[in-house]
Chains A and B, each alone.
Chain A
Amino acid sequence: MGNGPGCDAAPRTSSPDAGRPVSSPSARHNAQRRNRCFVSTQQTGPAAPHSIRSRAGSPARHGAPPPHVSGISPLPVDLAAMLDALPVGVALLDIDCSIRLMNRALETLTGFTTAEVRGIPCRHALRASICLYRCPLRRPLTTASGVTVATASGAHYDMIDDGELPPAQEGDILNRHRRRIPVRMSMSPLRDADGRVVGWLHAVEDLTLVRELEEKTAKGEAFGPLVGRSVAMERVFQALPAVAQNDGPLLVTGETGTGKDTLAEAVHKASSRAREPFVKASLSSLPEFLAESELFGHRKGAFPGAEENKPGRFRLAQGGTLYLTEIGDLPLSIQGRLLAFLDEGVIYPVGATDPVACDVRLVVATNRDPEQLVAEGRLREDLFRRLSAVRLHLPPLRDRGEDIEFLLNHFMGHFAARMKKTVRGCSGKALRTLLDYPFPGNVRELRNIAEYAVTLCHGETVMPAHLPAYLFQAKAEARRAERERRTGRVAGAFGQPGSPDASDTTGDAQASPGDGGEHLARTSVSDLERRLIADALQRTGNRRGEAAELLGWGRSTLWRKMKQYGMC
């Protein structure tokens, strides 16, 4: 190495070791050194490597003549340009651990240029968490092995053999812009032609992306309070940011308990309307005239009992988002007025003759198939077309695969922290019971089960005894249904009347959609729901709110299902 002021590796010091035989660790390198490249800052005359130097490493940038590497090509190579091509941050330090050169990646990482920090101790420029107390290069003079050298400043360091240096250390750096960046750092000695350590090469790798990836893998994807890591939910998460930024109406579909309300609120919070109100309206249980008044407001005297002007949900949501929970339950007349709002941006309060302009984003949801609602005449087709321009479907929990276990752990961790318990997970049997359960109440039901289990569990592991009894009842019902289905198949295979073609055993065995097996399964799910409702009502002394809570359903869902099964 040269002796110039650049990345000179030759000791400028009057080292006591200079000129004397090197120790065995250094001697090991002597055999290799003939094949090495060396750094020099001396100008190489007319044959300077213009093509390389022009890329980077100009004298102005580093505040000193650019160092060169000789021995790898006929002409010396610009060292700075060579290091700039590396994707990791690299610093060359002298024997005192002062900065001599940083490549562009490290300049970007630290926010300092080589010209600014050249010659100062590396701990001040890199500011890594290991610098102050765990620096591998600053050790007391206690080791018997190794060569002791004196540095320019007179300080003595215990020289470290290559083998003694830790392979890499992880920590963080605090850059000029006050940002903390996770990094992996490694250190290698720079040796002169005689094998003496004359400086250090410090490599700093940015781990920000790695950490983000690790965090994402551990936590799963998330959009506001919505979490999950199944493929089905990943698709939803990918679409959500763009959907949030779109200001048009949004239709959210999904079974009860899949998180439609949460999604609607998360979309609002991620939208440009986030600072304005988010107003939720659940009008399914209101008579038509009240629903109309609730939604659009009314004028004083519009109908008997209208003693004051009422703004209505639309005007309460002015500038923000109005979320309608069940579009299929809205009377057709109100649907028509919604369509008028979407087309003209105005509403007509009950009893008013003049339109009122409303700047509101409309988000509507349904837990039924909207196409089916249109076919049944319960949803206006023109409104559906208008709403379904942007449509999001939340998959049921049973289609979310690994999310069941992930969400279970997520909710159990949440409730364990809230209840100050140390519940860490489920036993194998408890987990199998949960994984076999169809979760008709979806995520809401899973959340309630997790809360119930954590409440009852006093140890670290949730056992089957800590789970609600109806899960086992459901399991037994499912087994019974399965048995019945198989019995039906065997009967069918022997050509009983009304059974599928007895010779078509393949199709029967696969239980293709629309066959008797699926019908039986559907019947048993309805039957199961009926029993669950009856059981819940019995347990709660016929208090519907508590029964809905126990089942993991909303009150309106319970009401609808009771109506569907003729239970009210």
Chain B
Amino acid sequence: MPATLLIPLYRDEVAPRFDLAGEALLVHLDADGAELSRSSVLLAHASSEELCRIALEEKVRVVICNGIDDEFWQYLRWKRIEVIDNVMGPVDEAIARFRADALRPGDILFHRSDA
């Protein structure tokens, strides 16, 4: 099933907080999970409400993020959008894991040599 992902960004990482992200990445996947296109959205100012609005407008199926307020987590789920939260790491790594159906809430994707 084709899907659109929304990932709030901070540099090349999944933004630490949904409400403080000034940019979001939209990733379009086809039914096989292959990436069709990417587009990034710059926000006039960081806002959870604005990200939720974009998610609804763009018919996003999955939001991948790190910290998110319970209120917005509940809202997105109520709108039948899957939220994979507490994901820490580079955004490319998160997308790759998602495509491999291996991304779970709480995944830490940073490479830690001595952790």
* Interface set of A (CB-CB < 8 Å, partner B): 5, 63-64, 116-121, 123-125, 127, 129, 131-133, 174-180
- Asked if A118 contacts B115 (CB within 8 A), the reply is yes
- Asked if A174 contacts B112 (CB within 8 A), the reply is no
Residues of chain A within 8 A (CB-CB) of B66 are 124, 127
**Binary contact readout B1-30 vs A (1 if CB under 8 angstroms, 0 otherwise):** 000000000100101110110000000000
- Asked if A174 contacts B114 (CB within 8 A), the reply is no
- Asked if B115 contacts A119 (CB within 8 A), the reply is yes
Closest to B73 in A: A178
- Asked if B115 contacts A178 (CB within 8 A), the reply is no
B63 within 8 A of A: no
Q: How far is the CA of A395 from the CA of B91 in the complex (A)?
A: 62
Residues of chain A within 8 A (CB-CB) of B85 are 178
- Asked if A132 contacts B16 (CB within 8 A), the reply is yes
- Asked if B20 contacts A132 (CB within 8 A), the reply is yes
How many whole Å from A361's CB to the nearest CB in chain B? 33
B16 contacts which of A5, A63, A131, A175 (Cβ < 8 Å)? A131
> Given A117-B108, A178-B68, A178-B85 in contact, is the A123-B113 Cβ separation under 8 Å?
no
- Asked if B69 contacts A127 (CB within 8 A), the reply is no
Residues of chain B within 8 A (CB-CB) of A116 are 108
Closest to A179 in B: B70
Q: How far is the CA of A355 from the CA of B76 in the complex (A)?
A: 52
Q: How far is the CA of A63 from the CA of B108 in the complex (A)?
A: 15
Residues of chain A within 8 A (CB-CB) of B16 are 123-124, 127, 131-132
Query: Known contacts A116-B108, A174-B67, A178-B68; can you find 14 more A-B pairs with CB under 8 A?
Result: A117-B108, A118-B112, A120-B108, A120-B110, A120-B112, A120-B115, A123-B10, A123-B16, A124-B110, A127-B17, A132-B10, A177-B70, A178-B70, A178-B73
- Asked if B114 contacts A5 (CB within 8 A), the reply is yes
How many whole Å from A56's CB to the nearest CB in chain B? 20
**Binary contact readout B83-115 vs A (1 if CB under 8 angstroms, 0 otherwise):** 001101000000000000000001010101111
Q: How far is the CA of A117 from the CA of B89 in the complex (A)?
A: 11
Residues of chain B within 8 A (CB-CB) of A5 are 114
How many whole Å from B71's CB to the nearest CB in chain A? 8
Closest to B10 in A: A132
Q: How far is the CA of A508 from the CA of B111 in the complex (A)?
A: 88
Closest to A5 in B: B114
- Asked if B17 contacts A132 (CB within 8 A), the reply is yes
Q: How far is the CA of A5 from the CA of B113 in the complex (A)?
A: 10
Residues of chain A within 8 A (CB-CB) of B19 are 174
Q: How far is the CA of A5 from the CA of B106 in the complex (A)?
A: 24
- Asked if A174 contacts B69 (CB within 8 A), the reply is yes
How many whole Å from A265's CB to the nearest CB in chain B? 28
- Asked if B114 contacts A180 (CB within 8 A), the reply is no
- Asked if B86 contacts A176 (CB within 8 A), the reply is yes
Q: How far is the CA of A132 from the CA of B9 in the complex (A)?
A: 11
Task: Give the interface residue-count category, chain B.
Answer: 20 to 34
How many whole Å from B107's CB to the nearest CB in chain A? 11
Closest to A8 in B: B114
Q: In the complex, which of the residues A118, A131, A174 has the most CB atoms of chain B within 10 Å of its own CB atom?
A: A174
Q: How far is the CA of A179 from the CA of B86 in the complex (A)?
A: 12
Residues of chain A within 8 A (CB-CB) of B88 are 117, 120, 124-125
Q: In the complex, which of the residues A125, A129, A178, A180 has the most CB atoms of chain B within 10 Å of its own CB atom?
A: A178
Q: How far is the CA of A180 from the CA of B16 in the complex (A)?
A: 13
- Asked if B69 contacts A180 (CB within 8 A), the reply is yes
Instruction: Pull 27 A–B residue pairs with CB atoms less than 8 Å apart, ordered by A.
Output: A5-B114, A63-B115, A64-B114, A118-B112, A119-B114, A119-B115, A120-B112, A120-B115, A121-B110, A123-B10, A123-B16, A124-B66, A124-B110, A127-B66, A129-B17, A131-B16, A132-B15, A132-B16, A132-B20, A133-B20, A174-B68, A175-B67, A176-B86, A177-B70, A178-B67, A178-B85, A179-B70
- Would you list the 9 A-B pairs with minimal beta carbon distance, nearest first? A119-B112, A119-B115, A174-B67, A178-B70, A127-B67, A124-B88, A5-B114, A118-B115, A120-B110
Q: How far is the CA of A47 from the CA of B106 in the complex (A)?
A: 39
Residues of chain A within 8 A (CB-CB) of B110 are 119-121, 124
Residues of chain A within 8 A (CB-CB) of B115 are 63, 118-120
How many whole Å from B67's CB to the nearest CB in chain A? 4
Q: How far is the CA of A124 from the CA of B13 in the complex (A)?
A: 10
Residues of chain A within 8 A (CB-CB) of B15 are 132
Q: How far is the CA of A120 from the CA of B13 in the complex (A)?
A: 12
Residues of chain B within 8 A (CB-CB) of A127 are 16-17, 66-67
Residues of chain B within 8 A (CB-CB) of A175 are 67
Closest to B70 in A: A178
How many whole Å from B17's CB to the nearest CB in chain A? 5
How many whole Å from B103's CB to the nearest CB in chain A? 16
Residues of chain B within 8 A (CB-CB) of A129 are 17, 20
Q: How far is the CA of A120 from the CA of B114 in the complex (A)?
A: 10
Closest to A126 in B: B16
Q: How far is the CA of A40 from the CA of B115 in the complex (A)?
A: 17
Q: How far is the CA of A5 from the CA of B20 in the complex (A)?
A: 32
Q: How far is the CA of A119 from the CA of B108 in the complex (A)?
A: 11
Residues of chain A within 8 A (CB-CB) of B10 are 123, 132
Residues of chain A within 8 A (CB-CB) of B69 are 174, 178, 180
**Binary contact readout B55-74 vs A (1 if CB under 8 angstroms, 0 otherwise):** 00000000000111110010
How many whole Å from B87's CB to the nearest CB in chain A? 9
How many whole Å from A447's CB to the nearest CB in chain B? 33
Residues of chain A within 8 A (CB-CB) of B67 are 127, 174-175, 178
Q: How far is the CA of A179 from the CA of B69 in the complex (A)?
A: 6
Q: In the complex, which of the residues B16, B19, B66, B68 has the most CB atoms of chain A within 10 Å of its own CB atom?
A: B16
